[in-house]
Chain A
Amino acid sequence: MPMDIGETISVIASFGLPYRIRPVRFRWSGKLFEVKDVTYSWQTREGQNRIYHFSISDGQTLYELSFDTSSLLWKMEKVEA
């Protein structure tokens, strides 16, 4: 079962084709993680805000990150325990 986290985190991402946005590395709980695979991505809206969601894997654990295009903040949404 995934664990809800909801923490703002720092992410290095690449913007541009072919993926438009793709997280590459992220720092969470003082550790740096490398994104090995983006397994799924989707978008939602909260009012006028568009939010991009990414299911990602560092090769061991599955995470869900989100990027709010209004605040330009990344969040660690969930971690697969």
Chain B
Amino acid sequence: MDAYFASVEQQANPKLRGKPIAVIGSGGRTVITTRSYEARKYGIKTGMNVYEAKKVCPHLIFVVGDNEKYTHTCKELQKIYLQFTPDVEAYSIDEAFLDITTTHHLFKGPEVIGQSIKDQIKKLFGITCTAGIAPNILIAKLASDIAKPDGLKWVKPEEIEPLLRNLPLQELWGIGSGLAEKLEAFGIKTCGELGRAPVSLLRNKFGIMGEHLKAMGMGQCSRPLSVHPGDPKSIGHSMTFPKDLSERKDIEAEMLKLSEMVGRRARRYGFIGKKVTLIVRYPDFETFSKQTTLYDYTNSTHEIYKNALGILNSIRLEKNVRLIGVSLSSLLRDSGQMLLFEEQRKEKALLQAIDAVNDRYGDFKLIWASYLEQTEPPRVISPAWKPSGIRHINVKR
């Protein structure tokens, strides 16, 4: 999608169309998550804070993002893609890969599919997207980046080599500034040079990644689509607070809420875990995490919270707390084994009852009393959000 969140907001509010806008979160310490193409002309970048952005473009319009609008649209987009192939990977909230190898002949070819998707999205939502078509996802992503906004580009196999010949390394998906700098130290500045570099040189410097890098330089990519993602390695939630927390009771209450979010998601998708991790970030962004291994597998909110609290009790917080995260890992599918002790059975029944109420009336309708006094922190959508599966999380505006 082209400037996804910003395009949705411009479509929803005609007064914003054609103007430089930036979508931000609702919290006091928010940063720009997306900016319109009009804002990009002024040098507005994702990740800038409001103050920085105003300095660059004083007439920039800030719009508080509405996550529910974006997630609903993303789910509807998925339905459009599935008309053309069952092999769809929702890579992020605004990007998807479609494998049309075995279906394109049914729709008069790849370009017709690309154009048809673009037309449907424009008709249904009034927003634009760019389609990149290529023999693999590395080049398809590049084609899409080149053709943005509102473009359609098909890179055929014979066009890959000339396209990559003088292309700067960082234009290629998966090569960031750090890696590009390391490659430049060897005199490799373009994708073409990367593809021609001796594999022994790359392997010496980057290990097994060296071969992968050479293949990338040649426009090759063997990564299959992740259509049916495997079981997750961990389930976690974190929160950045509108104000740094100093009071122990506030920190504990937030940990309880995070433990409930983790436990509820684990229960919903039928997972139990044996390791609990607590992540703490200070205002200066110093971050540390500590893990504990449980005696038994669990997805109980109370067990997760108790162990996260155990970790908190074992450390000395040196500063106020900007962010807390709780996660459950070493996951197994919950086989639904009968619990041995009465106490455990009662707790499981209680959690089932709480989940049933929240399933019926909405998340956090029935909550732990110690969380009642907490103010609701701003909700920020994770880039890893997916329209289905365990990474699908109900978000609020």
Footprint of B on A, CB under 8 Å?
37, 39-40, 42-49, 53, 55, 57, 62, 80
B72 touches A40 (CB 8 A): no
Assembled-state Cα–Cα distance A68/B394 (Å): 18
Do B68 and A47 have beta carbons less than 8 Å apart? no
Interface pair B360/A55, CB less than 8 Å apart: no
Chain B 352-371, CB-CB to A under 8 Å as 1, else 0, gives: 00000011111101000000
Closest residue of chain A to B75 (Cβ to Cβ) is A43
Please give 11 more A-B residue pairs, beta carbons under 8 A apart, in addition to A42-B72, A47-B358: A37-B14, A43-B72, A45-B362, A46-B362, A47-B361, A47-B362, A47-B365, A55-B12, A62-B12, A80-B13, A80-B15
Q: Establish whether residues A39 and B12, one from each chain, have CB atoms under 8 Å apart when the complex forms.
A: yes
Chain A: CB-nearest residue to B13: A62
Residues B15 and A62 in contact, CB atoms below 8 Å apart? yes
A37 to B14, CA, bound (A): 10
A44 near B72: Cβ-Cβ < 8 Å: yes
Please tell me if the beta carbons of A42 and B360 are within 8 angstroms of each other in the complex.
no
Instruction: Give the A-B pair count, Cβ closer than 8 A.
Output: 45
B23 CB to nearest chain A CB (Å): 14
List the A side residues contacting B15 at CB < 8 Å.
62, 80
Interface size class, chain B:
20 to 34
**Chain A's nearest CB lies how many Å from the CB of B363?**
8
- Inter-chain CA distance A16–B359, complex, in Å, is 29
Q: Is the beta-carbon distance between A45 and B14 smaller than 8 angstroms?
A: no
* Distance between Cα atoms of A49 and B361 in the complex (Å): 8
**Which chain B positions have C-beta within 8 A of A55?**
12-13
Interface of A is mostly: strand
Cα-based distance from A49 to B358 in the complex (angstroms):
12
- Asked if B125 is at the interface (CB within 8 A of a chain A CB), the reply is yes
| Interfacial chain A residues near B13, Cβ < 8 Å | 39, 55, 62, 80
CB-based nearest B residue for A51: B68
B361 closest partner in A (C-beta): A47
Binary contact readout B70-89 vs A (1 if CB under 8 angstroms, 0 otherwise)? 00110000000000000000
Q: Is the CB of A45 within 8 A of B8?
A: no
Q: Does B126 contact A (CB under 8 A)?
A: yes
**Proximity string of chain B (162-185) to chain A, C-beta cutoff 8 Å, 1 when within and 0 when not:** 000000000000000000000000
Q: Is the CB of B68 within 8 A of A42?
A: yes
Query: 17 A–B contact pairs at CB < 8 A?
Result: A39-B12, A40-B69, A40-B126, A42-B68, A42-B69, A42-B72, A43-B72, A44-B72, A45-B394, A48-B360, A48-B361, A55-B12, A55-B13, A62-B12, A62-B13, A62-B14, A80-B15
Instruction: Determine if B14 and A46 form an interchain contact, defined as CB atoms under 8 angstroms apart.
Output: no
Which of the residues B73, B126, B358, B361 comes within 8 Å of A42, measured between beta carbons? B73
A46–chain B nearest beta-carbon distance, Å:
4
**Smallest CB-CB separation from B124: which chain A residue?**
A41
Complex Cα spacing A56 to B126, Å: 14
**Complex Cα–Cα for A42 and B73 (A):** 7
- Give CA–CA (A48, B358) in the complex, Å: 9
Docked complex Cα distance between A45 and B359 (Å): 10
B125 and A40 contact, CB distance less than 8 A: yes
